[in-house]
Amino acid sequence: MGEVIRVSDKKQFLQWFLQRYELRSPEAGRLLRYLSNQEHILQRVHFADDLRNLPKTLLISATCVDTAPFRFCKNGRVTTSVADAFRDIRQFPNEDIYISLFFRNRSACAEYAAVLERQIRPTQRQSVFFLELQAYWILDAIHREVLYRHWMEAADRALELGDRELFEKAARELRRLGDPDAVIRSVGTEENI
């Protein structure tokens, strides 16, 4: 998770949400009220849009949408029992809980957006890192190729003009740069990742 949402903001949002929406599962409403009054648990609550591959999740729907009323998932096990969720939350108050609320126009709801945490999964972080690394390699290879062409042209010009000093400088720079085609061919190969 990226940013930290204050407990007071989560509590205020839950109260706002419960006042405005009727839930498809009344027991889920009681669970949300319980969470809003338990600050030590609310610290571990995260509102999220994507609950896939998260260890402990709650999916709760309002009556205005046609989605499952309630789902509690923990470590791949799914139940529709709010009582099971209550029991687990009380038994393990120090575990993170990821909640996704479904209600009409939720994507346009500023109150929900204010508590919604943007998720970057470890695999996404790794992908971003490798993409950035590959972009760096590509830009470096392009830069080396431009320099290589520049010094090749300088060497050709030096030969045409008989300028030994420019030719030696161009030759030194070309040796330092190496073969730019070898660098370009290696960008993005498995051995570089």
Classify residue 187 as exposed, middle or buried by CB count within 10 Å of its CB (0-12, 13-18, 19+). middle
Looking only at the bridges linking them, the beta strands covering 56-61 and 70-74 are antiparallel
Structure confidence by residue, pLDDT tens digits, 103-152: 999 989 999 999 998 765 555 555 666 667 677 777 777 888 888 899 99
Residue 55: phi and psi, rounded to 5, are -70, -30
Position 8 pLDDT exceeds 90: yes
Q: What percent of the chain has pLDDT over 70?
A: 83
Nearest-angstrom CA–CA distance, 154 and 147: 10
Structure confidence by residue, pLDDT tens digits, 138-191: 777 788 888 889 999 999 999 999 999 999 999 888 888 776 554 444 444 444
Beta bridge partners of residue 73, listed in sequence order:
57, 78
pLDDT at residue 96, rounded to an integer: 94
Which token pair is 78? Answer: 């799914």
Nearest-angstrom CA–CA distance, 26 and 44: 23
HSE value, Cβ hemisphere, 13 Å, CA-based, for 177: 23
